[in-house]
């Protein structure tokens, strides 16, 4: 099982696109509140409208509740940040991986990053580029995990 975790997402269109990616790949979507929009936002649903019936989504009031309900070691956490020391393509992702992404405007909380530097990954970019769009980052890394898993269960 692949799990996508959004910590305090702010832009409904990004979350809608990520929901669509999750629905198309079978990944479970976890959303940690507070969000910058409501889950019934028109912009959110428009981005993934035809896919909501295929989506498994769980909401959490805060990051502590997320970790309590998805405890290690049965969950393998990977944190995505421009501050990551390793690239996402240098890691072998095991079953039950949780790919964790931060807010579009601020990323993950620094205390979370620095407490987990060995599991903090980045996407290579040109010097001076701030970051990729969140929905693009999720799609890119999600498909890397699925590629490593041989696209099991997917139409090839």
Would residue 154 count as lying in a domain?
no
Would residue 155 count as lying in a domain?
no
Would residue 156 count as lying in a domain?
no
| Predicted local confidence at residue 42, as pLDDT | 65
| Predicted local confidence at residue 45, as pLDDT | 60
Average pLDDT for consecutive 10-residue bins of the chain (156 residues)? 97 90 95 87 58 85 97 93 95 97 96 96 94 96 97 86
| Predicted local confidence at residue 43, as pLDDT | 58
Q: Domain of 43: which CATH number?
A: 3.40.1280.10
Would residue 53 count as lying in a domain?
yes
Half-sphere exposure in the Cβ direction for 84 (13 Å, CA): 24
| Predicted local confidence at residue 49, as pLDDT | 58
Would residue 62 count as lying in a domain?
yes
Total structural domains in the chain?
A: 1
Helices (H), 30-80: 42-48, 63-69
What lies within 8 Å, CB to CB, of 57 at 6+ separation is: 19, 22, 28, 29, 30, 31
| Predicted local confidence at residue 27, as pLDDT | 97
| Domain, as residue range, for 56 | 2-148
């Amino acid at each position: 099982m692949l799990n996508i975790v959004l910590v305090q997402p702010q832009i409904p269109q990004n979350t809608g696109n990520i929901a669509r990616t999750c629905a198309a790949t079978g990944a479970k979507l976890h959303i940690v509140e507070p969000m910058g929009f409501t889950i019934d936002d028109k912009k959110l649903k428009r981005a993934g409208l035809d896919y909501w019936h295929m989506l498994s989504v769980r909401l959490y009031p805060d990051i502590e509740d997320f970790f309590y309900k998805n405890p290690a070691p049965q969950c393998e956490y990977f944190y995505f940040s421009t501050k990551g020391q390793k690239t996402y393509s240098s890691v072998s992702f095991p079953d039950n991986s949780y790919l964790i992404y931060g807010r579009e405007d601020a990323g993950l909380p620094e205390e979370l990053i620095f407490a987990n530097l060995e599991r903090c990954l980045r996407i290579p970019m040109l010097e001076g580029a701030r970051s990729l769009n969140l929905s693009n980052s999720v799609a890119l890394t999600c498909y890397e995990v699925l590629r490593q898993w041989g696209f099991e269960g997917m139409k090839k």
